[in-house]
Structure 1
């Protein structure tokens, strides 16, 4: 596979994996928690490195999951004590992220991990960091890691689709029929955490947030069915990765930034031209009601 194709495949895997998780976050009105966790997992990454003294292996994923769950738990605790949800997210987000930055600067300043890298990523280096087995190059490590996380997320959603759907749209009903709503919540936070850290090295936190929120938000405007929303958001993620790469090549700009911009363009089109929920469709419906009222 060519150098360009590896970058496109990596971006597409990020788009698909993030979009799948993002749909449930958008539907549950927890999109900003995704932004918080995508930054606070830096603390988990640094913690995993300090424990294992290695950037390889499962320690970074484990650390990210622990801190992601801790973020969700602290936000829920503060919200339960009367702090407004957005304020709770802001307090936890800034505090844990700041601790991660301090630890990174003090204890891990001489390794291939820094705040700029974590925020912006560097997808152009991905094709050169490969998995080698018996002298054979099997492709970039990022592609293998993202593929693994994608399959794990897909399997969880497939096995617990009914539980996810009911607890997303009607948590009270889910609790009444015995679905462990709190477990589902923290399971989704764990999925969000491993998805974020798997994408960190490739594209950085900025594009991760864009891929988590924007494709799902655009798909939300285009359909009223959960399964269709999952498929459409994944398609938007892939399209944004591909179009963003060629936009970046043409304009000689940041690849991650161009991919994030592509998601915004797609959302803008959906916002204006969605057949049912778009701005133009709503205006036409209002004009029709106005005419019928006059008649």
Structure 2
């Protein structure tokens, strides 16, 4: 493995673990597409950050995207609670009009600037080794993206380890959580804030489409393989790391998109789990419906 391949796979693995851990809780809450909504909704935030700052400096873009990500989660919950529409409908309404607003802002105010929706949607993980490198005492410590995602992963791990009980209860049994004094609304916003942070930090390098694939695919695969949340978190992370590594080498072999190849591996993992899972797989369910005839000794 050459050095460039190492940084690409490491970046993909860091993003995969961040997305997979949070995606497990989204799957349990039946809100898997919130990541998709946030990844599209950050587009107007990027444009507004450019219009106010007059620069494409990365931190102003991240700040604007993060603000719109949080606003998106607030609007989803607001429409769900106040307008009494279903969660999936509120997600669909929110991200479509925010994304459309971003496209309009680009076409009207930033049409002559190298700023478009492609930078958010597609990204290019293969360019990670060309990113700005962090240096200390004359030593090159790695691309900026790797350190950024490493910091985000540390925050997410700390968040889950410290508040595992609250996240567990509000995800599995919100009524019981409310009865014992936990605010389900507070923990919803904290979880959505973590999702926004991960999405915004990752879209520059890997693109929003791959973020969505990693936030839904590995958790859904792990969900089919176990009924234990802690095991699900571990399996989901492992699936994401394997997908990042195999996806890179598949893209190298096909001379194609790394993000696309990783998404293909994620789809294959889910398909295998769907068919072969010992508890929820297609084969095991068919055996339960049509058990093998008992062998009667002669």
Q: Which category of TM-score, normalised to the shorter sequence, fits these structures?
A: over 0.9
- Gap regions ≥5 residues in structure 2: none
* 3-state SS of 1:138 partner: strand
For residue 132 of structure 1, report the CA deviation from its aligned partner: 4.1
**2: CA distance, partners of 1:26 / 1:107:** 38
Structure 2 CA distance for partners of 1:260 and 1:284, relative to 1, 3 Å = same
- Equivalent in the alignment of 1:51: 52
Query: Match for residue 32 of structure 1?
Result: 33
* 1:118-157 → structure 2 map (5 Å cutoff): 118-133=120-135, 135-157=138-160
What is the match of residue 176 of structure 1?
Answer: 179
> Is residue 92 from structure 1 mapped to residue 59 from structure 2 by the alignment?
no
Rate the CA distance shift 1:135–1:56 in 2: closer, same or farther, 3 A.
Answer: farther
Cα distance in 2 between the residues matched to 1:148 and 1:49: 25
Aligned equivalent of 1:240: 243
Shift of 1:82: 2.8
Contact 2:31 2:88 in 1 (8 A): no
Structure 1: runs of 5+ lacking an equivalent: none
Pair 1:291–1:47, CA change in 2 (3 A)? farther
- 1:117 Cα shift? 2.4
Q: Quick one: distance in 2 between partners of 1:57 and 1:202?
A: 12
SS of residue in 2 equivalent to 1:276: coil
State the number of aligned residues: 291
Residues 113-262 of structure 1: matches in 2 within 5 Å?
113-133=115-135, 135-262=138-265
Distance 1:9 1:112 in 2: 28
How far has the Cα of 1:131 moved from its partner? 2.7
The TM-score normalised by the length of structure 2 is 0.91
Cα displacement string for residues 82-126 of structure 1 (whole angstroms, at most 9, x for unaligned residues): 333322222111100111222234434455542122211111211
Shift in Å, 1:259 = 0.4
Counterpart CA distance in 2 for 1:25 and 1:135 is: 42
- C-alpha displacement of 1:128: 1.0
CA contact (8 A) 1:18 1:208 kept: yes
Counterpart of 2:234 in 1: which secondary structure?
A: helix
Q: Distance in 1 between matches of 2:28 and 2:166?
A: 14
Give the drift of 1:202: 1.1
Of the structure 1 ranges 106-115 and 66-75, higher mean CA displacement relative to structure 2 is found in 106-115
Instruction: Say what the alpha-carbon RMSD is for the aligned residues.
Output: 1.9
Structure 1 pair 199–34 and aligned structure 2 pair: CA distance change class (3 A): same
Q: Distance in 2 between matches of 1:30 and 1:222?
A: 20
Which region of structure 1 is more displaced relative to structure 2, 77-86 or 253-262? 77-86
In 1: Cα distance, 2:209 partner to 2:263 partner: 8
